[in-house]
Amino acid sequence: MNAPNDLRYTEEHEWVRLEGDVGTVGITDHAQEALGDIVFVELPEVGRKANRGDEACAIESSKAASDIYAPAGGTVVEVNQAVADNPALVNEDPYGKGWIYKIRLANPKELDGLMDANAYAAKVAQEE
């Protein structure tokens, strides 16, 4: 699955979709594939403040546990309870139904430093 062009990507394989000043965050198809079957998603608390790069929450798979980091500073405004109830959604639809949380960004310009789809695809190719 190619990385969608309308998203920004972190070095840690998170994606973010900006709508106004709210970013929807999930993990990339590459990340879910590397992790294997997702068995648990620990959601962040709504109202939690995070700085760029802070650990926001965690996921566990049959292979490993992995932290999910904030792509930019802000406040968590919504979580996807569906992935907590059915973690396989992260594997099945990482860019859609498998989103993890939404964060109201303190400074949306922080996302300018993240990779676009082409840069992210090049990073993944380099890692393989």
Q: What is the mean pLDDT of the chain?
A: 95
- pLDDT for the residue numbered 3: 84
- Residue 1 pLDDT grade (very low, low, confident, very high; cuts 50, 70, 90): low
- pLDDT for the residue numbered 26: 98
Higher pLDDT, 5 or 128: 5
pLDDT tens-digit profile of 63-104? 999 999 999 999 999 999 999 999 999 999 999 999 999 999
Residue 87 CA: distances (Å) to CA of 23, 58, 78? 21, 12, 17
How is residue 21 written in tokens? 């000043």
Residue pair 59/35 in contact (Cβ under 8 Å)? The answer is yes
Closest C-alpha among 51, 46, 39 to residue 90 = 39
Closest C-alpha among 107, 104, 34 to residue 64 = 34
pLDDT for 11 beyond 70: yes
CA–CA–CA angle 14, 116, 101 (5° rounding)? 30
- pLDDT for the residue numbered 45: 96
Per-domain boundaries in the chain: 8-127
Q: The domain 8-127 is classified under which CATH number: 2.40.50.100, 3.40.1160.10, 2.130.10.10, 3.90.25.10? A: 2.40.50.100
- CA 49 to CA 65: how far, in whole Å? 22
